[in-house]
A and B are shown apart, each in its own frame.
Chain A
Amino acid sequence: SAVISQKPSRDICQRGTSLTIQCQVDSQVTMMFWYRQQPGQSLTLIATANQGSEATYESGFVIDKFPISRPNLTFSTLTVSNMSPEDSSIYLCSVEGGMTPNTGELFFGEGSRLTVL
């Protein structure tokens, strides 16, 4: 299992500003995933972050809007840039739970709830 800590847990932001969410894992992991959970919507993968390489973004998400850092095997950040009210959402960090990669068994952080005014 893995323990994942996210900061901040919640924040209220002004339109046009940017916010960086931090994700710390208690063990070394190869891949870290960033998800978005909008009200009434499915959990959606934003990007996959591998240490030492550029993040891989899913369709509809771009690096300029959601820059990601992955400086080591236990830490990652997601920045939500130039925020608008449509960015109000819960952002979740996750890692794989098993020893075998790509199993789909994920551990999630508790999420960062952003409200953009």
Chain B
Amino acid sequence: EDQVTQSPEALRLQEGESSSLNCSYTVSGLRGLFWYRQDPGKGPEFLFTLYSAGEEKEKERLKATLTKKESFLHITAPKPEDSATYLCAVQAGSNYKLTFGKGTLLTVNP
């Protein structure tokens, strides 16, 4: 069974204080690893797809990286508007279904 574990559960940063969120996964035949952002009272919003170890994707202050066992979402000089829950998900084997982690709640204080 595919498993996705995100850490930490919650992270509080000061504005400008860079950090990373972790997503470790156990799957058979990774097809893709996905990062989503979810604001309170909203549905998740797609950020990135990573397909193979060594791949990196960037969007504004966010950079996602992938190894064979985990992915990191690096947040550089975060701003309060980056506060959200960040969800990681995997798609594996012949199954199109996404398996999500429980998310990391990021709070960036001004």
A residues neighboring B (CB under 8 Å): 4, 40-45, 48, 58, 92, 94, 97, 101-111
**A4 surroundings in chain B (CB, below 8 A):** 43
Seed contacts A58-B97, A106-B46, A110-B43; 5 additional CB < 8 Å A-B pairs: A43-B44, A43-B100, A45-B98, A92-B43, A101-B96
Given the known inter-chain contacts A42-B4, A44-B100, please indicate yes or no for A104 contacting B91, CB distance below 8 A: yes
Interface bracket on B:
20 to 34
Contact B100 A105 (CB under 8 A): no
Enumerate 24 A-B pairs (CB-CB under 8 Å) in ascending A order.
A42-B99, A42-B102, A42-B103, A43-B100, A44-B100, A45-B97, A58-B97, A92-B43, A92-B44, A97-B46, A102-B91, A103-B32, A103-B49, A104-B34, A104-B49, A104-B91, A104-B98, A105-B49, A106-B44, A107-B46, A108-B45, A109-B43, A110-B43, A111-B42
- Complex alpha-carbon distance, A4 and B44, angstroms: 12
CB-nearest residue of chain B relative to A113?
Answer: B41
- Complex alpha-carbon distance, A42 and B98, angstroms: 11
